[in-house]
């Protein structure tokens, strides 16, 4: 055993490392072979081969997968690699029989372990359920309370008390690996339920089982297909092909259709008929039986090949080690000094949550063949475009590049870039065509390797071609929007759609500018102010004047919409007049003028936060805390960000204030804790208040963005920026641009206990500025409407 002490030059800390060479190297080599992850393991193996010594740090120990499982966070618990197709985890029901919509429940019984899940959302998947059982097999009563539960990166374990079985799970990209340790029993079973899924029912958002096949091809193998439709995205049919292989031959095998177990080795059923199989054993005390389950959307043969390629051996530890190594590579992109234990757990868990979705299904596209990357489970871009996409552009540019290439390829073959997509089908669209903002964000920040000409064609298609089904894809109410300049009450969500389409059109104008398409740039830049057509300058609420207001199909004003939080058929979606009336990131200068000037705007923001109109649990509110910067009050931004972090986020099971929404809430937490916030679709970051004295984000190729907060105190009193430097140069603004940090940068913020004059002089960029932030071809004259 060798101890090595290393110094990290940038972070000025010391790490003592312990290497136990022989055993660790065997596991590492096997893990490399299994997941082709040798490059990600270089920090472990380098000392053995004479390379420069680097610190081995297990960042995964800072991840707590239980954060966010309660009170609506809906975060995934189980095993998955970054963006993995397989998310193998427990499915549960409460003790009064209410089944979880996303899989996990902090109380209740385990129904088994299925292979496909979402994270931060519910309403889809839960397919191919495997359950270990001892004693008589009752198909109508397969469940057990659990204890001794453990959840770590790439690993889940629990003891099923009814059956006295220890269940352990790990996974590769397309394969779930199960290990069950049984007691002495003459009746031991490993069951596979093919008809099971989360949220089955008749509701319009429910999943529906369409039929399945199972074939027992030997005394230790099963394969087939299960067919489903529906779910939250109201998608079409998706087929889940599976192949299961056990390391122990069964003494007997049975299948079931309906409620009857038989010796038949093949079975096929139609809709709503139970189907599955049981492998039966006699076990000794502490006998472990392992199962590998390959999943594919192509064929059962492909599922089998996935097992053979990704998990050729029977080493559970090697698969877990490989998953851990992959996650360590991603988690190492964040480093902190001086953080609290709670902050450390929250932020590393947040990165973990961000990188669970979308799902990398490259090579598993059942609908078309393409050399492009293929991703699914955009759930939804309406949630993730604001913070998750800008975060990946910063710390995982190659991954973000591939995700955008996938969006463009989906457009090539379906006609639209999705706003949401799951089960290999587009749907549903909550607001605007927000992939437009994702593309613009990448383009302005110089992300390479993307066909921006085709991306621009997809953006224009969104803006010009009405979809056949506006809840599935594209822009609803587009005809009115393009002809009248606003969506009317003839279409649902007309207020939030008008606000979002305006920003989407701004995003299109930005890309048009960069591509030299001056005519299109001018057109879409002019539409970027369409939100003003729903602005009633005389509408007064609580003493504040000027709000968005519905318009009838004939253009006349409809009664004001004062519902606190709307939904699908309403004027605003998941927000109210206080949120959407001040949503115009493209031209906050103009909006502030419309709202009565900076003082009135600040007062309006104060009211919004103090009177409960700020809803941190929904994405339309994400930008609100930093809007003070546009009115010259970064000190108030600091107050609100500090308050929200203190009240809404913790390191507990209820530590996320609402649906994590595929990591959207988690990425908001990361940016807000570090003290910077992206304006998605622009190359601008707003400075708020850092909560950690020294943090860095790896930008790739050895580049880092380091954020240092001098004089920061543990109680958060010194939350106000007094002065700032960026790369040693004075930064008087409460914002900066991407080009200033893209090659690596150090942002130093000197903090104090009282507001200062810092950041007040120059507001962040807006379209109404004398010098437009993108190109002069997009310049239009803004006038009152």
3-state secondary structure 127-169: CCEEEEEECCCCCCCCCEEEEEEEEECCEEEEEECCCCEEEEE
- Which pLDDT band, with edges at 50, 70 and 90, does 178 fall under? very high
CA nearest 699: which of 395, 445, 331? 395
What pairing do the DSSP bridges indicate for beta strands 13-19 and 2-8? antiparallel
Predicted confidence band of residue 83 (pLDDT cuts 50, 70, 90) = very high
> Which burial class, exposed, middle or buried, applies to 33 when counting CB atoms under 10 A from its CB (0-12, 13-18, 19+)?
middle
According to the 3-state scheme, what is the secondary structure of 532-558? Answer: HHHEEEEEEECCEEEEECCECCCCCEC
pLDDT reported for residue 376? 98
3 contact partners, CB below 8 Å, separation of at least 6: 16, 17, 18
pLDDT averaged over the chain?
A: 92
Q: What is the number of other CB atoms lying within 10 angstroms of the CB of residue 329?
A: 17
The model's confidence at residue 12, banded by pLDDT at 50, 70 and 90, is very low
> Rounded to 5 degrees, what are φ and ψ at 498?
-60, -45
List of residues 6+ apart from 348 with CB closer than 8 A: 59, 60, 62, 63, 331, 334
Secondary structure, 3-state, 38-51: HHHHHHHHHHHHCC
Residue 636 has pLDDT above 50, yes or no: yes
pLDDT over threshold 70, residue 773: no
Give the per-residue pLDDT at 56: 74
Is residue 512 within 8 Å of residue 443, measured between CB atoms? no
**Gap between the Cα atoms of 530 and 768, Å rounded:** 14
pLDDT in tens, 305-338: 999 999 999 999 999 999 999 999 999 999 999 9
Instruction: pLDDT band for 737, please (50, 70, 90 cuts).
Output: very high
Percentage of the chain lying above the pLDDT 90 cut: 90
Q: Is the pLDDT of residue 106 over 50?
A: yes
pLDDT digits (tens, 9 = 90+) for 514-544: 999 999 999 999 999 999 999 999 999 999 9
Q: What is the pLDDT of residues 182-203, one digit of tens each?
A: 999 999 999 999 999 999 999 9
Q: Locate the DSSP E strands across 558-714.
A: 676-679, 684-687, 694-700, 703-710
DSSP structure class, residue 393: H
Q: What is the pLDDT of residues 688-712, one digit of tens each?
A: 999 999 999 999 999 999 999 999 9
> Which residue shows structure tokens 């120059």?
762
Q: What is the mean pLDDT of residues 21-46?
A: 37
Per-residue pLDDT at 770: 78
> pLDDT at position 34, please?
42
Of 37-51, 79-93, 148-162, least confident by mean pLDDT is 37-51
25, pLDDT greater than 80 = no
The continuous run of DSSP H or E covering 187 comes out as strand 185-193
Please state the φ and ψ torsions of residue 276, each to the nearest 5 degrees.
180, -170
Backbone angles phi, psi at 456, to 5 degrees: -65, -40
What mean pLDDT comes out for the span 58-81? 98
Angle at Cα 533 formed by Cα 528 and Cα 539, nearest 5°?
130
Strands 703-710 and 745-752: parallel
């Amino acid at each position: 055993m060798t101890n090595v002490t290393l110094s990290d030059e940038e972070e000025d800390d010391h790490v003592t490392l312990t290497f136990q060479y022989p055993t660790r190297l065997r596991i590492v080599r096997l893990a490399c072979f299994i997941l082709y992850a040798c490059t990600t393991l270089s920090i472990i193996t380098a000392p053995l081969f004479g390379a420069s010594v680097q610190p081995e740090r297990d960042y995964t120990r800072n991840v707590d997968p239980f954060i966010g499982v309660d009170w609506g966070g809906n975060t995934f618990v189980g095993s998955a690699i970054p963006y993995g197709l397989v998310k193998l985890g427990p499915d549960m029901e409460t003790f009064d029989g209410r089944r979880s919509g996303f899989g996990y429940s902090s109380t209740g019984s385990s129904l088994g372990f299925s292979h496909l899940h979402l994270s931060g959302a519910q309403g889809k998947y839960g397919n191919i359920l495997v359950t270990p059982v001892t004693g008589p097999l009752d198909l109508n009563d397969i469940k057990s309370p659990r204890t001794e539960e453990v959840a770590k990166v790439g690993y889940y374990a629990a003891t099923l008390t009814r059956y006295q079985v220890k269940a352990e799970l790990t996974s590769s990209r397309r394969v779930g690996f199960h290990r069950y340790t049984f007691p002495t029993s003459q009746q031991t079973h490993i069951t596979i339920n093919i008809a099971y899924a989360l949220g089955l029912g008749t509701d319009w958002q429910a999943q529906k089982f369409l039929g399945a096949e199972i074939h027992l091809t030997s005394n230790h193998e099963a394969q087939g297909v299960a067919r489903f439709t529906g779910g939250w995205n109201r998608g079409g049919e998706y087929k889940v092909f599976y192949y299961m292989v056990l390391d122990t031959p069964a003494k007997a095998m049975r299948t079931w259709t309906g409620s009857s177990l038989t010796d038949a080795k093949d079975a096929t059923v139609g809709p709503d008929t139970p189907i599955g199989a049981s492998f039966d054993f006699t076990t000794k005390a502490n006998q472990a039986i392992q199962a590998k389950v390959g999943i594919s959307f192509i064929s059962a043969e492909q599922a089998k090949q996935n097992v053979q390629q990704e998990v050729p051996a029977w080493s559970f530890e090697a698969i877990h080690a490989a998953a851990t190594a992959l996650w360590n590579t991603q988690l190492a992109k964040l480093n902190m000094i001086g953080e609290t234990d709670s902050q450390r757990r929250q932020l590393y868990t947040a990165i973990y949550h961000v990188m669970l979705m979308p799902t990398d299904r490259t090579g598993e596209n059942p609908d078309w063949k393409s050399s492009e990357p293929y991703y699914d489970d955009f759930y939804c871009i309406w949630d993730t475009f604001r913070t998750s996409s800008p975060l990946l552009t910063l710390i995982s540019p190659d991954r973000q590049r591939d995700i955008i290439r996938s969006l463009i390829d989906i457009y090539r073959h379906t006609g639209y870039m999705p706003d949401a997509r799951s089960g290999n089908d587009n749907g549903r669209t909550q607001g605007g065509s927000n992939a437009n903002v994702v593309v613009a964000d990448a383009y302005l920040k110089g992300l390479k390797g993307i066909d921006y000409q085709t991306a621009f064609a997809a953006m224009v298609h969104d803006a010009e071609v009405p979809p056949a089904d506006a809840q599935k894809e594209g822009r609803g109410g587009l005809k009115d929007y393009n002809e009248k300049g606003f969506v009317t009450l003839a279409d649902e969500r007309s207020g939030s759609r008008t606000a979002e389409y305006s920003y989407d059109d701004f995003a299109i104008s930005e890309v048009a500018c960069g591509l030299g398409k001056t005519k299109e740039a001018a057109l879409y830049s002019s539409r970027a102010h369409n939100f003003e057509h729903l602005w009633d300058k005389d509408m007064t609420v609580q003493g504040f004047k000027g709000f968005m207001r519905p318009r009838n199909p004939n253009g006349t004003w409809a009664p004001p919409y004062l519902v606190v939080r709307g939904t699908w058929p309403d004027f605003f979606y998941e927000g109210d007049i206080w949120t959407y009336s001040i949503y115009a990131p493209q031209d906050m200068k103009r909006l502030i003028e419309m709202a009565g000037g900076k003082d009135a705007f600040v007062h309006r923001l104060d009211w919004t936060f103090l009177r409960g109109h700020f809803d941190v649990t929904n994405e339309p509110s994400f930008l609100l805390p930093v809007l003070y910067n546009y009115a010259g009050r970064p000190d108030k931004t600091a107050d609100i960000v500090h308050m929200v972090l203190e009240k809404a986020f913790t390191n507990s099971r209820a530590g996320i204030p609402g649906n994590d929404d595929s990591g959207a809430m988690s990425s908001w937490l990361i940016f807000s804790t570090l003290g910077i916030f992206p304006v998605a679709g622009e190359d601008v970051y707003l400075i708020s208040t850092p909560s950690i004295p020294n943090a860095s984000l790896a930008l790739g190729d050895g580049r880092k963005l380091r954020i240092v907060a001098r004089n920061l105190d543990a109680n958060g009193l010194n939350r106000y920026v007094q002065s700032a430097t960026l790369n040693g140069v004075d930064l008087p603004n409460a914002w900066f641009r991407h080009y200033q940090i893209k090659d690596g940068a150090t942002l130093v913020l000197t903090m104090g206990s009282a507001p200062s004059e810092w950041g007040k002089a120059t507001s962040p960029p807006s379209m109404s500025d004398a010098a437009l932030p993108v190109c002069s071809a997009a310049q239009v004259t803004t006038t009152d409407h």
